[in-house]
């Protein structure tokens, strides 16, 4: 028994140690410590001087969560006594402390010898290592890390045993369900549909008044979030509803942006078209792009679309960057002075003075967003939407039910691409500039993350995802560098733990009134 506990818990200790080392190597530990310090000391902490105490706190927290996880998973299989749990927790803390200390000893000896590890590990600046090592006092640092890992695992152990003895989490869950049953919000909605309508109307009005009260920075963040929400709604049609995976969604975004730019910028063509007309044209061009990409994979199953669109995105990116198209797209310089819509004079009449440009543009984005949202809702619950869902669940069965899968596939891609084109046009117009560097692969990944994190096929989920993916990182500026790492890990974890997303689709249940069943039975009697 002891032996299996030892091997299992040391495995967990190694995992915790690897996580610790990884966090230190990408400098996440000190960033987190900085955030914690700001949080506790009220934002007075000076940069570049992180107290080792907070580093230790971060280390302890990571070990804490690993230990809790270990105790929870193991205890569900086989109950441990307190002594066995203590033994496991101690093993985890010692193993992980050993690993993190080893790393710091190595780094410290390099630092003492005057070598800069930044040549190979760019994130680790010498002062960061110094902060890790208490100004290169290695012995003190090692003691400190062991202390924090042991404290972390002990805290986890005690918390776990308290929650076991008092049965607290289960009680809380039960209390929560009781509360939910008592309040019965959903029931009220069902009974009085007017409440729902009024609430939605209130929400929309609040949303419409929002741009008038927030500051310029929040306006720009909200603009980005909404543009990504538009993209997410488009991609949701393809990935969430029709079940086709698109990796190169940025291609359609770029097509829309460049078409819009070429039509409204003074150079190179000097057409300077009307905003709405240009928006429409860029939407159509992106849709045609989607059609061309959709054709070759129309009668193929599965994952080819993913790579074909990825290739298409690369083609678009290379072409707009190349000398071949430089006369039109401006090559690496991009297109400047892209047109913005003119404010109608109504606003001036009502408010006395014209709206500020960014507020006015935010209203424009909100307007397009609401149209796309409405279209997405209508599509999802239409015959087309149902065909897409059938296709997503099983292509063969969908075909047998009379869904022409090949044309519905292409239709999904065309509509999704057109929406992305509209988003691209808005984006280009908002920045009054568009260049090839803005259309990297990462934009596609962001759009995909918006859909997946929120919930594939769920419209409110997509909106939530857009806020989480684009809004939260803006609010947590300190963690900016780690955004993509976290997304990558998040995509994997979401697929394993909760593949339906944070806000999954609620299936409509088939409901039949009891009386009608009786009538049916009467009818069916021979």
Positions touching other proteins (CB under 8 A) are 22, 25-27, 120-123, 239, 243, 245, 247, 295-304, 306-308, 310-312, 314-315, 318-319, 321-324, 392, 396, 399-400, 405-406, 441, 445, 448, 452, 456, 481-482, 484-485, 487-492, 495-496, 499-500
Minimum CB separation of residue 206 from other proteins in Å reads 34
Q: Could you tell me which of 52, 54, 50 has the C-alpha nearest to residue 36?
A: 54
Residue 190 vs 500, nearer CB to other proteins = 500
Least separation in angstroms between CB 399 and other proteins = 5
In this structure, the number of other CB atoms found within 10 A of the CB of residue 485 comes to: 13
3-state SS of 479-521 is HHHHHHHHHHHHHHHHHHHCCCCCCCCCCCCCCCCHHHHHHHH
Q: How far is CA 395 from CA 13, 222, 299, 508, 514, in A?
A: 45, 38, 11, 21, 34
Instruction: Tokens for 72, please give them.
Output: 């929870």
> Closer to other proteins at the Cβ: 157 or 316?
316
Q: Which is nearer to other proteins, 154 or 293 (CB)?
A: 293
**Which residue's CB is nearer to other proteins, number 202 or number 485?**
485
| Shortest Å, Cβ 288 to other proteins | 15
Least separation in angstroms between CB 395 and other proteins = 9
Nearest to other proteins of 200, 324 (CB atom): 324
When the beta carbons of 321 and 384 are compared against other proteins, the nearer one is: 321
- In sequence order, what are the beta bridge partners of 335? 434
Instruction: Pick the closer one to other proteins by CB: 284 or 298.
Output: 298
Residue in 426, 439, 427, 438 with CA at minimum distance from that of residue 313: 439
Find all residues with CB under 8 Å of 157, minimum gap 6, and list them. 67, 71, 85, 86, 89
In the complex with other proteins, the residue whose CB is nearer, 311 or 354, is 311
Q: Report CA 130 to chain centroid distance, whole Å.
A: 34
CB closer to other proteins, 291 vs 347: 291
Comparison of 169 and 302: residue with beta carbon closer to other proteins:
302
DSSP assignment of 5-74, as one string? HHHHHHHHHHHHHHHHHHHHHTTHHHHHHHHHHHHHHTS-PPTT---HHHHHHHHHHHHHHHHHHHHHHH
Shortest distance in whole angstroms from residue 85 CB to other proteins: 26
CB of 428 to other proteins, least distance (A): 23
Q: Which residues pair with 433 in a beta bridge?
A: 336
- Measured from the CB atom, the residue of 344 and 499 that comes closer to other proteins is 499
Place of tokens 């190597």: 25
* Measured distance between the N- and C-terminal CA atoms of the chain, rounded to whole angstroms: 67
Cβ at position 365, least distance to other proteins in Å = 27
Helix (H) or strand (E) holding 434: strand 433-434
Name the CA dihedral angle for 291, 295, 300, 302, rounded to a multiple of 10 degrees: -20
Tell me whether residue 148 or residue 462 sits nearer to other proteins (CB atom): 462
Q: How far is the CB of 357 from other proteins (least distance, A)?
A: 35
Q: Could you give the angle at the alpha carbon of 221 between the alpha carbons of 216 and 227, nearest 5°?
A: 125
Q: What number of other Cβ atoms are within 10 A of residue 21's Cβ?
A: 17
Reported residue count of the chain is: 526
Q: How far is the CB of 96 from other proteins (least distance, A)?
A: 18
The answer to whether residues 225 and 365 touch, using CB atoms and an 8 Å cutoff, is no
As given in the structure block, the two tokens for residue 95 are: 């193993």
- Is the Cβ of residue 251 or residue 376 nearer to other proteins in the bound state? 251
Q: How many CA atoms lie within 13 A of 99 on its CB side?
A: 24
Contact between 445 and 260 (Cβ < 8 Å): no
Q: What angle do CA 180, 181, 186 make, to 5 degrees?
A: 75
CA angle 466–460–447, rounded 5-degree value: 30
Question: Is 433 in contact with 267 (CB distance < 8 Å)?
Answer: no
């Amino acid at each position: 028994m002891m032996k299996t506990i030892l091997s299992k818990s040391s495995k967990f200790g190694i995992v915790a140690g690897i996580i610790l080392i990884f966090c230190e190597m990408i400098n996440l530990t000190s960033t987190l410590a900085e955030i914690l310090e700001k949080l506790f000391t009220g934002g007075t902490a000076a940069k570049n001087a992180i107290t080792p105490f907070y580093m230790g706190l971060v280390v302890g927290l990571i070990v804490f969560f690993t230990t809790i996880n270990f105790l929870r998973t193991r205890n569900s299989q086989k109950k441990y006594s307190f002594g066995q749990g203590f033994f496991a927790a101690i093993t985890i803390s010692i193993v992980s402390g050993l690993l993190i200390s080893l790393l710091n000893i190595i780094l410290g000896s390099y630092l003492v010898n005057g070598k800069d590890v930044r040549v190979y590990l760019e994130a680790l600046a010498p002062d960061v290592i110094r902060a890790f090592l208490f100004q290169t006092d290695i012995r003190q640092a090692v003691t400190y890390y062991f202390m924090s890992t042991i404290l972390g695992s002990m805290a986890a152990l005690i918390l776990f045993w308290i929650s076991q003895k008092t049965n607290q989490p289960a009680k809380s869950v039960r209390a929560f369900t009781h509360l939910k049953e008592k309040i019965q919000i959903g029931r009220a909605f069902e009974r009085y549909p007017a409440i729902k309508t009024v609430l939605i109307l209130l929400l929309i009005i609040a949303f419409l008044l929002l741009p008038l009260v927030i500051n310029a920075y929040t306006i720009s963040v909200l603009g980005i979030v909404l543009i990504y929400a538009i993209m997410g709604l488009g991609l949701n049609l393809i990935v969430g509803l029709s079940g086709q995976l698109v990796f190169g969604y940025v291609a359609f975004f770029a097509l829309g942006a460049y078409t819009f730019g070429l039509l409204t910028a003074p150079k190179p063509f000097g057409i300077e078209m009307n905003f709405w007309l240009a928006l429409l044209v860029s939407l159509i061009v992106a849709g045609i792009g989607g059609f061309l990409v959709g054709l070759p994979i129309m009668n193929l199953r599965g994952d080819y679309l993913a790579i074909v669109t990825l290739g298409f995105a690369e083609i678009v990116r290379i072409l707009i960057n190349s000398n071949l198209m430089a006369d039109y797209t401006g090559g690496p310089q991009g297109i400047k002075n892209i047109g913005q819509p003119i404010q109608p004079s109504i606003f001036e009449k009502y408010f006395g003075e014209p709206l500020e440009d960014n507020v006015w543009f935010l209203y424009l984005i909100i307007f397009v967003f609401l149209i796309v949202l409405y279209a997405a809702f209508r599509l999802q619950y239409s015959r087309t939407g149902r065909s897409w869902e059938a296709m997503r669940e099983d292509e063969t069965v969908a075909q047998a039910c009379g869904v022409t899968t090949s044309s519905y596939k292409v239709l999904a891609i065309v509509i999704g691409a057109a929406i992305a084109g509209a988003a691209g046009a808005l984006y280009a117009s908002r920045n009054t500039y568009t260049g090839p560097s803005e259309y990297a692969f990462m934009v596609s990944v962001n759009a995909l993350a918006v859909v997946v994190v929120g919930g594939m096929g769920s419209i409110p989920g997509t909106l939530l995802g857009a806020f989480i993916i684009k809004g939260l990182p803006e609010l947590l500026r300190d963690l900016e560098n780690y955004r993509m790492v976290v997304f990558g890990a998040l995509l994997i974890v979401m697929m394993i733990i909760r593949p339906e997303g944070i806000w999954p689709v609620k299936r409509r249940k088939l409901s039949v009134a009891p009386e009608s069943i009786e009538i049916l039975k009467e009818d069916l009697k021979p």
